[in-house]
Amino acid sequence: MDKIILKGLRFYGYHGLLPEENKLGQRFHVDVELLVDLKQPGESDRMEDSIHYGHAYELIQTVVEGDPKNLIEAVAEDIAKSLLSNFDLLQAILVKVVKPDPPIRGHYESVAVEIFREKK
């Protein structure tokens, strides 16, 4: 399956279980893979035949910078739902939400969730 990939998107949001996460906020990184047939837009060279990744970015930004969620699992789910419902051509999506600085003691690079959803 062909893909449009948006990688390393950076946002500031207020998601988390702890009160300080909701008050102070933190960084979130998002990667998405939009599974879509790209043969037609590759041949036609028309935006109408593809998915506008600028619009996809704005939808992701609205979710991540929007209403706080307890879990990044819920953030990922909302991103998937938003994109699947807004792009008719989108067949499936892989969403990864990364929390690079969670309030956890220890040494680590980040914590993340990754989900795959298909259009029904």
Which residue numbers are catalytic?
99
DSSP letter at 32?
E
Query: Taking Cα atoms as reference points, which of 102, 78, 90, 75 lies closest to residue 36?
Result: 90
Looking up tokens 């953030």, which residue turns up? 75
Amino acid at 2: D
Other Cβ atoms within 10 Å of 4 Cβ, number:
20
Alpha-carbon span 73 to 12, nearest angstrom? 16
Structure tokens that stand for 90 in this block: 């989108």
